[in-house]
């Protein structure tokens, strides 16, 4: 794609996006949603109250993939609550901004800047210290946001949840909360090298909560990038399908 030359409306040195600019940016980011390329047919992938997981070893790209999915949601005029248990607000914001820039780099710089500013109100970043996090605390803060009409998320991303250190009860509580609030929740899951796996390819330590998840995908580093495969919830069309992400941008490589 060459540098986008779509006309922009100008008024007293202010640049306004045209409908054409918005449509093209939306199309590009929605196209870049890796899980729709894997065969998940619903744009949201998950229904209300659904759980999804992106599983990988440390440093492979779990957060980057979920941020990309968050951007996809924001581009469809829906709101994302990003909960991080290990990064500062500024670092999470950098993730979103850099991935947005990577996706939109072929478009007019002024248009990209303005549209980025337009979609930021659709994202809310919530930070917890790992040792202070609990589902009741998350529920309390979420309730405040929603009941005070500050922010009502369509999708929640929880980055850093310690599945191998927590029992089933807190996660079941969170599942109930997601259903009550009509939110779908995506988690990063830190897998370990050389760990025991069940016949369904999931780590044995994850099996006690696996039934709570509708969708699970796994990332694995390869020589030329990152390989993505669907472990749970895939459609028949995606059963034998896999994707690669460019490790420098975390965008889909050669899927179309």
Which CATH number among 3.40.50.2000, 3.10.110.10, 3.40.50.300, 3.60.10.10 corresponds to the domain 21-247? 3.40.50.300
**Residue 1 in this model has a pLDDT that exceeds 90:** no
Q: Which two tokens stand for residue 12?
A: 């007293």
Closest CA to 152 of 161, 142, 140: 142
**Residue 209 in this model has a pLDDT that exceeds 90:** yes
| Domain ranges within the chain, ordered by starting residue | 21-247
Alpha-carbon torsion 79, 96, 241, 227, what sign?
Answer: negative
**Residue 11 in this model has a pLDDT that exceeds 80:** no
Computed over every residue of the chain, the mean pLDDT equals 81
How do residues 62-117 score in pLDDT, each as one tens digit?
Answer: 998 899 889 888 988 899 999 999 899 999 999 999 988 888 877 777 778 888 99
**Residue 10 in this model has a pLDDT that exceeds 70:** no
How do residues 12-67 score in pLDDT, each as one tens digit?
Answer: 444 455 556 666 766 666 656 666 656 565 667 899 999 999 999 888 889 988 99
- 61 contacts 228 by C-beta, under 8 angstroms: no
Cβ-count burial 116-136 (b if 16+ within 10 Å, e if not): beebeebbbbbebeeeebebe
Return d(Cα 215, Cα 4) in angstroms, integer.
36
Return d(Cα 131, Cα 85) in angstroms, integer.
9
How do residues 129-173 score in pLDDT, each as one tens digit?
Answer: 888 899 999 999 999 999 999 999 999 999 999 887 778 999 999
């Amino acid at each position: 794609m060459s540098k986008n030359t779509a006309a922009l409306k100008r008024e007293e040195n202010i640049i306004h996006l045209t409908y054409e600019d918005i449509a093209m940016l939306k199309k590009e980011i929605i196209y870049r949603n890796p899980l729709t390329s894997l065969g998940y047919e619903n744009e949201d992938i998950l229904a209300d109250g659904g759980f999804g997981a992106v599983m990988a070893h440390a440093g492979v790209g779990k957060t980057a993939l979920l941020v990309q999915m968050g951007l996809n949601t924001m581009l469809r005029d829906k709101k994302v609550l990003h909960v991080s248990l290990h990064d500062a607000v500024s670092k999470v914001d950098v993730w979103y901004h850099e991935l947005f820039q990577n996706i939109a780099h072929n478009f007019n710089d002024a248009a990209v800047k303005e549209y980025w500013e337009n979609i930021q109100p659709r994202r809310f970043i919530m930070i917890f210290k790992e040792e202070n996090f609990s589902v009741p605390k998350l529920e309390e803060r979420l309730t405040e946001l929603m009941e005070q009409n500050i922010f009502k998320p369509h999708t929640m991303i929880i980055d850093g949840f310690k599945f191998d250190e927590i029992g089933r009860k807190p996660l079941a509580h969170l599942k109930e909360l997601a259903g009550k609030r009509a939110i779908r929740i995506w988690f990063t899951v830190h897998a370990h090298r050389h760990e025991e796996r069940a016949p369904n390819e999931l780590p044995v330590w994850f099996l006690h909560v696996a039934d709570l998840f509708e969708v699970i995908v796994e990332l694995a580093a390869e020589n030329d990038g990152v390989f993505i495969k669907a472990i749970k919830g895939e459609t028949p069309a995606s059963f034998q399908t896999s994707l690669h992400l460019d490790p420098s941008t975390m965008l889909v490589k050669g899927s179309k």
